[in-house]
Structure 1
Amino acid sequence: MKFDLHVHTTLSSCSQLTLEQVLDNAQAKGLDGVCITDHDTMAAVDLLKEGMQENGLCVLIAMEYATKGGDFLLFGPFEHLPLGLPAEIMLAAVKAAGGVAVAAHPLRPGRSIDTSLLEKGLCRIIEGVNGRNTPEANQEVRHWPERYQIGAVGGSDAHTLDELGKVPTQFTVPIQSRADLIRALREGLYKPMVWEEVRTASPQRQSG
């Protein structure tokens, strides 16, 4: 299954992409599922029935959580988390709740991940390819999975319809719920990134 794990809707002030546009266009872009990852909110859960839609698209709700130690995509059995937590405390809370965190755009200027979080094993997956990064920025983290013994996924970081589905992650098992996604991420049930095929990433922007 092809999932876009990093999609912002108009619930993020920086995004022009509506939830309706996501639902209506994701499959035409080759996606089987999308994760709505708005900034510091999971409010989209109140706007649709999460899970499998009538058209066969799987829509799951997550969030992008900002910390001084970097931004993280959070996938978990929760709808709310206290904002402003230090990265270590937030990551521990997500793990305790049964969730998974992915370090988003780990080398974005001004919002880079604190690599000590990877060294300590507090975050076990990075966004190895981000659709809003330059190819050079994506290339810089190419060897991080081997260096830190972690996983790597892709995400479009979509803020517009054109960006939706640009960098999907291919999962090797069916995903119909948050629980399915969390299990697949934990167990590494996604195909390794083919770095050479991601050379058309959009120029880096400041939002994401």
Structure 2
Amino acid sequence: MLIDLHCHSYLSQGCTLDPRAVLERAASHGLDAVCFTETNTQDGCDELFDIGRTSKVKVFVGLELNTDKGQYLCFFPKPEQAPEPVQMWGSNRERPWSAEEALPKVRQLGAAIVAARPYDRDYPYPALDYILGLKLLSGVEGYNPKLRQSQNDLAVEAAEKLNVGCVGGSDARGSLDEIGFGATLFEDDLNSNEDLVKALLNGRFWAVQMGELPRPSRPGEAREVEAKRGKKKRRRWRN
């Protein structure tokens, strides 16, 4: 079963993607399911599950938890019953939630935890090698199409050291065109969030690279590439 395990909708702050459109695009790429991992909230999971009942692809719900030591995808057996992060640790407006405090609590509540984009230095508080000391992880995001290959490679190496599997996902937030480049392959068919958590805890999954986003690796590179293309075209025209 092929699932985009890291995706956002308008339920995440700063995202405008309609979940129905996300599911339609996912179906066109051959995905079997999408897991919506909204940032710091699962409020709205009932709406997502309702939409999934009439969709061509299945819907799962998770949570993208932002902490002072990285981002983590948290998957609860019953997300509609899980407390909201703000209820457990208060507001994170002045300072991010503590990973040392939050992650054990999330695991205690029965969630499977995956380190998301741990070596992404664009995040203000990247996890980096902090995850190497986390024994409560069920996996590491080994393929995120928005990251450079070196950042994904470091995540894969970390997963090997931790002896856990790698997941993949689109991390779509800004455009439907971001969907269909990364996913996670599960050994079994999954029909509920309970099934998803069980599969993650048992390690029966693999990251899948379905494509590569045409994203410049550094500021200004897009203009350099286009300038080179223009020169090549002019040379061909003169010949």
Structure 2 residue aligned with 1:145: 159
Question: Is 1:168–2:157 an aligned residue pair?
Answer: no
1:201, CA displacement in angstroms? 4.2
Asked if structure 2 preserves the Cα contact closer than 8 Å seen for 1:50 and 1:61, the reply is no
Using the alignment, how far apart are the partners of 1:135 and 1:200 within structure 2? 10
Relative to 1, partners in 2 of residues 1:139 and 1:6: Cα closer, same or farther, differing over 3 Å?
same
Name the amino acid aligned to 1:182.
V
Asked if structure 1 preserves the Cα contact closer than 8 Å seen for 2:183 and 2:210, the reply is no
Structure 2 residue aligned with 1:185: 200
Residue 148 of structure 2: which of 120, 134, 143 is its match?
134
Describe the SS at the equivalent of 1:26. Answer: helix
Question: What are the superposed Cα offsets for residues 86-112 of structure 1, whole Å, 9 maximum, x if unpaired?
Answer: 112211112111111111111111332
CA RMSD, Structure 1 to Structure 2 (Å): 2.3
Bigger share in helix: 2
Residue 80 of structure 1: which of 78, 83, 87 is its match?
83
Q: Give the TM-score taking structure 2 as reference length.
A: 0.76
Relative to 1, partners in 2 of residues 1:198 and 1:107: Cα closer, same or farther, differing over 3 Å?
farther
Asked if structure 1 preserves the Cα contact closer than 8 Å seen for 2:180 and 2:211, the reply is no
Name the amino acid aligned to 1:82.
P
Identity %: 32
Question: What are the superposed Cα offsets for residues 28-85 of structure 1, whole Å, 9 maximum, x if unpaired?
Answer: 1111000111111112313243596334411011111110011111100334333344
Asked if structure 1 preserves the Cα contact closer than 8 Å seen for 2:43 and 2:84, the reply is no
1:152, CA displacement in angstroms? 1.2
Asked if structure 2 preserves the Cα contact closer than 8 Å seen for 1:41 and 1:80, the reply is no
Question: What are the superposed Cα offsets for residues 138-158 of structure 1, whole Å, 9 maximum, x if unpaired?
Answer: 123232222222221111101
1:4, CA displacement in angstroms? 0.3
Name the amino acid aligned to 1:125.
G
Asked if structure 2 preserves the Cα contact closer than 8 Å seen for 1:130 and 1:201, the reply is no
1:12, CA displacement in angstroms? 1.8
Using the alignment, how far apart are the partners of 1:51 and 1:75 within structure 2? 19
1:127, CA displacement in angstroms? 0.5
Relative to 1, partners in 2 of residues 1:122 and 1:138: Cα closer, same or farther, differing over 3 Å?
same
Bigger mean CA offset, 35-44 vs 54-63: 54-63
Using the alignment, how far apart are the partners of 2:14 and 2:157 within structure 1? 31
Using the alignment, how far apart are the partners of 1:50 and 1:175 within structure 2? 17
Instruction: List aligned pairs for 1:20-169, cutoff 5 A.
Output: 20-49=20-49, 53-76=53-76, 77-78=78-79, 79-83=82-86, 84=92, 85-109=97-121, 110-113=124-127, 115-159=129-173, 160-169=175-184
Describe the SS at the equivalent of 1:49. Answer: helix
Q: How many residues align?
A: 202
Structure 1 spans left out of the alignment, 5+ residues: none
Using the alignment, how far apart are the partners of 2:48 and 2:67 within structure 1? 28
Structure 2 spans left out of the alignment, 5+ residues: 87-91, 219-239
Bigger radius of gyration: 2
Name the amino acid aligned to 1:102.
V
